[in-house]
């Protein structure tokens, strides 16, 4: 699950840190949270312009580096950036290992963690309907498509066997040897033409059966011991009855950070730093009630009006005049409730009201 620069900055600010941000969008609330901000362009694949990114980091020489979404596919770039300043997060070699699907599959097999079969190609006897094509180190689900026939996977991609069931996720804190689960969440999809597995939103806390939570928590501990993961991270999995299968490992905070980083839970950014230093909490309090968030995508090319009265429950607010192509994220909507079902109903209502307001203003 993708994490916005705003969410990461907000978590650091809650922990009392001074924040400077560098991202591709320059959303107004991200800039408002930041003591300094630089916008760096990305290409169609989502990769930063490396010279521009390196130049932008020079503006903030006294600050440490926290990497968000996007660097999983570019560990070499992260290594070059981290050579000039202290990195708060997993080192590039750990990120590269858990985001390489074949290296990760080996780790999961040796650690006896259930996971779908992966391949570099399909043979004539394989049924394409049983397989997905996924981009290596992709994020947000938009890169996942059904397989259409036999042959080798496209460059930078691989085949993963389909696994039936419901999506789930868990956020954790790790110290390189052990881990503590922060909480479980339930993601859902928002399919679009050509993107049937696009990320829609997530609600927390989810309440899986105790046997499942125990099994996933134990698997995360074995994963951490095998890979050396540190700090805040997450795993995505799918549940089918009493069985479950791990789909992805996120070696950084995920979109669920917005859901769990609230009272009475201590600032998760502080706990992230402590875990990186080898200190895990013995237990964590549960946040009161439930929360849900969803990404709102542009159905058509959308230009943000010069004046926008954003409701307080809208985050990742694009700057006035920004042109957002059809299919791209516009903003994030959130809602709370006494349980995840209520939070999701309120979220759906708010999302509809926001879209209707845009349609009336168009």
Q: Would you kindly state where each structural domain of the chain is located, as residue ranges?
A: 5-98, 294-362
Residue 212 has pLDDT above 90, yes or no: yes
Residue 45 has pLDDT above 80, yes or no: no
What's the Cα-to-Cα distance from 58 to each of 50, 79, 250, 280, rounded to whole Å?
A: 13, 16, 27, 33
Question: CB within 8 A of 127, min separation 6: which ones?
Answer: none
Provide the angle, in degrees to the nearest 10, between the axes of the packed helices 5-14 and 268-276.
90
Give the pLDDT confidence score for residue 225 in this predicted structure.
98
Give the pLDDT confidence score for residue 1 in this predicted structure.
58
Record: fold of 5-98: Rossmann fold (3.40.50)
Q: Which helix (H) or strand (E) holds 87?
A: none
Interatomic CA distance for residues 171 and 253, integer angstroms: 8
| pLDDT tens digits, 132-148 | 999 998 888 888 999 99
Beta-bridge partners for 160: 118, 132
User: CB-hemisphere CA count at 13 Å for 335?
Assistant: 19
227 contacts 236 by C-beta, under 8 angstroms:
no
4 Rama class: left (phi>0) / alpha (psi -120 to 50) / beta: beta
Residue 361 has pLDDT above 80, yes or no: no
Mean pLDDT of the chain: 93
């Amino acid at each position: 699950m993708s994490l916005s620069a705003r969410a990461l900055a907000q978590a650091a600010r809650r922990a009392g840190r001074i924040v400077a941000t560098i991202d591709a969008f320059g959303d107004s609330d991200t800039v408002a949270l930041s003591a300094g901000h630089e916008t760096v362009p990305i290409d169609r694949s989502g990769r930063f312009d490396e010279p521009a990114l390196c130049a932008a980091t020079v503006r903030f020489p006294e600050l440490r580096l926290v990497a968000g979404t996007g660097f999983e596919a570019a560990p070499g770039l992260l290594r070059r950036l981290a050579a000039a300043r202290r990195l708060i997060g997993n080192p590039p070699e750990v990120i590269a290992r858990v985001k390489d699907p074949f290296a990760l599959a080996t780790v999961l097999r040796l650690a006896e963690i259930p996971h779908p079969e992966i391949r570099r190609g399909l043979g004539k006897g394989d049924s394409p309907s049983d397989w997905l094509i996924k981009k290596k180190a992709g994020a947000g689900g938009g890169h996942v498509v059904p397989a259409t026939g036999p042959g080798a996977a496209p460059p930078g991609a691989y085949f993963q066997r389909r696994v039936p069931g419901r999506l789930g996720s868990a956020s954790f804190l790790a110290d390189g040897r052990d881990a503590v689960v922060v909480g479980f969440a339930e993601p859902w999809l928002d399919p679009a033409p050509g993107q049937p597995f696009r990320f829609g939103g997530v609600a927390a806390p989810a309440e899986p059966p105790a046997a499942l939570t125990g099994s996933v928590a134990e698997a995360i501990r074995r994963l951490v011991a095998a890979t050396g993961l540190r700090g805040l991270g997450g795993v995505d999995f799918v549940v089918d009855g009493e069985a479950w299968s791990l789909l992805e490992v996120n070696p950084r905070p995920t979109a669920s950070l917005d859901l769990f980083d609230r009272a009475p839970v201590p600032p998760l950014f502080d706990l992230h730093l402590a875990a990186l230093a080898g200190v895990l909490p013995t237990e964590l309090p549960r946040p009161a009630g439930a929360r849900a968030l969803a990404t709102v995508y542009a159905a058509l090319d959308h230009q943000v009006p010069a004046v926008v009265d954003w409701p307080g429950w809208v985050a990742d607010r694009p700057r006035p005049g920004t042109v957002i192509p059809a299919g791209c994220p516009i903003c994030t909507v959130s809602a709370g409730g006494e349980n995840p079902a209520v939070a999701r109903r309120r979220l759906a209502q708010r999302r509809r009201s926001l879209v209707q307001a845009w349609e009336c203003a168009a």
